[in-house]
Amino acid sequence: MKKSLSVAAALALSFVMTFSCSAPQSQIAVNPLTYTDIPDNDVIRVGDTYYMVSTTMYYCPGAPIMKSRDLVHWETVNYVFDCLEDDDVYNLRNGAHAYGMGQWAASLRYNDGVYYMLFVANDQHKTYMFRTRDIENGPWEKNEIEGKFMHDASLLFDEGRLFCIHSNGDIMITELEPDGSALKKGGIDTLLFSAPSEGYGLRAEGAHFYKIDGKYYVLEIDWPAGGIRTETCWRSDSLLGEYESRVVLRGEFDGRPDGVAQGAIVDTPDGDWYAIMFQDHGAVGRIPTVQPVTWVDGWPVMGDNTVPMKEVKVNLPPSGRDYVWDSDGFDSGTLALVWQWNHKPVDGEWSLSERPGWMRIYAGEAVGNIFEARNSLTQRTVGPRSTSEVLLDASGMKPGARAGLCAFQSLNISVGVEVGPDGEKAVVARMGQRTYDEVVRADGSKGIVPGFEERVLASTPMEGDSVRLRIRYVFTAQEDDDCGDDKAYVGWSFDGESWTECPEPLQMRYTLDLFTGYRSMLYSYSSTQEGGYADFDYFRQQVY
């Protein structure tokens, strides 16, 4: 028996050694990590697990938490809040909205068993602090930091005290209560340093604050006039001491002049360092990259001697999955984490259970256009080229209703079913644009009122009640394409085999009034009355 156990132990040890030797302990990451909109990231490591938060502004739920074991594959596991506030802004009432506002540039930190996340919301003019002991499941406790609006903030725990740097150009430092619930009475609140202004179009924005080996570091972005987006590091031997600076990342990436900058640095359990930095990449949004960090004379130099890299060796074994976008058959009783609503949904007017295997969205109260429509369900689009497809059953739609699929941004294109006053149905492709008109108020002051213009690109009578709808995205054209970058084409099919594609595409543009990359949106709304409901059987997203 002892001999048998010894042989078994030897065989087991041999298997473990063989497996360990054969299993890859590193990988080559090809940037971008995911060709989709993940801006303003902050990343932390807790043990051997990394967590990332990103900006999603007006989408609900908000502040997505993504998880990784290898810094390459990122999976959405939670959101910090369902909806920031239950007010006119997030309910799209009385002309209010959060487009281009909402949750901005969050700071994520972990200290003594608690996860902290702080950000501002421009629509609320407030600074929020959320806390939890379970980042993947919650719940999150919310506090409002009264008396200070801390734009592009970053937290630092230091010897029992909690500090926050914020603002842009002139970087401020403010002390908070140790639990982050409020400003520290009598605490530090002063200028930390001023970035140079001569020759810069954008100064010291998107700051990230660290204490590493006894030194204090601030990472931020600059944009030299006529130059390229740049990551700059500031360093000091003391918290409030004099800070010196150095460029740590600057250069073109993927043939685009948009520099790779703004994000976090993080170490591995073995002591390697990496940066997760994003690039403005046209209509698809702001895409994340991983860059190596080499410490040179105490400076965290990124990329290949400050030049962003396309391929990066990451000294962590491949692990996990990519899950920030996905196809969905709507077979679950709960909404998949890759979905977000445009503003706050009306919970009684959508269902995954009334018709199992389908997403049912009610048209609800009549609205003026798609930007005012409640219960519009969105997912990130994907580059370099992809398609989004749905199957729509329009049998529950009533006169005045519109439902379908939209490439959503300030400039948008949609294809869907529209029901006329006598109940006749047609597949209609439309191109729309958000507009802005200057008005003079009663007190004589001037203001801007958003409007909407659209035109019909194509219309064809329905054949039955079901139709497949598709948007074909070309964010980066191939050499043999004649369409150019950032184009969206809409099409439809009544049998799933023969497709009609509208010949006029949308020239997509990333615009700052929404400040988000294009989303594929499932919409159902009415312009004249409560227009029944639309049923979506599936959503398929495929990169090609």
Mean per-residue pLDDT, 212-238 = 96
- The answer to whether the beta carbons of residues 538 and 327 sit under 8 Å apart is yes
215 pLDDT above the threshold of 90: yes
**pLDDT per position as a tens digit, 16-71:** 343 344 567 999 999 999 999 999 999 999 999 999 999 999 999 999 999 999 99
245 pLDDT above the threshold of 50: yes
**pLDDT per position as a tens digit, 94-129:** 999 999 999 999 999 999 999 999 999 999 999 999
CB half-sphere exposure, 74, CA atoms < 13 A: 30
Q: How far apart are CA 296 and CA 246, in angstroms?
A: 11
306 pLDDT above the threshold of 50: yes
Mean per-residue pLDDT, 279-308 = 98
Fold topology of 340-543: Jelly Rolls (2.60.120)
Residue 498 has which token pair?
């023969």
Q: What's the pLDDT score for residue 51?
A: 98
- Homologous superfamily (CATH) of 26-314 is Glycosyl hydrolase domain; family 43 (2.115.10.20)
Q: What's the pLDDT score for residue 183?
A: 98
10 pLDDT above the threshold of 50: no
Mean per-residue pLDDT, 468-480 = 93
**pLDDT per position as a tens digit, 136-154:** 999 999 999 999 999 999 9
Residue 119 has which token pair?
């950000």
Mean per-residue pLDDT, 240-253 = 97
Q: What's the pLDDT score for residue 22?
A: 59
Mention every residue, 6+ apart, whose C-beta is less than 8 A from residue 39: 54, 55, 262, 278, 285, 286
Q: What's the pLDDT score for residue 75?
A: 98
444 pLDDT above the threshold of 90: no
284 pLDDT above the threshold of 80: yes
Mean per-residue pLDDT, 505-530 = 96
- The answer to whether the beta carbons of residues 154 and 208 sit under 8 Å apart is yes
| Residue recorded with tokens 């108020």 | 441
478 pLDDT above the threshold of 60: yes
| Out of 123-137, 440-454, 506-520, least confident range | 440-454
Residue ranges of domains in the chain: 26-314, 340-543
pLDDT band at 538 (very low <50, low <70, confident <90, very high): very high
Please give the share of the chain, as a percent, with pLDDT higher than 90: 89
**pLDDT per position as a tens digit, 480-489:** 777 899 999 9
Residue 413 has which token pair?
């294109």
Phi, psi of 222 (to 5 degrees): -130, 160
Q: What's the pLDDT score for residue 529?
A: 83
Q: What's the pLDDT score for residue 190?
A: 98
Residue 265 has which token pair?
């640095």
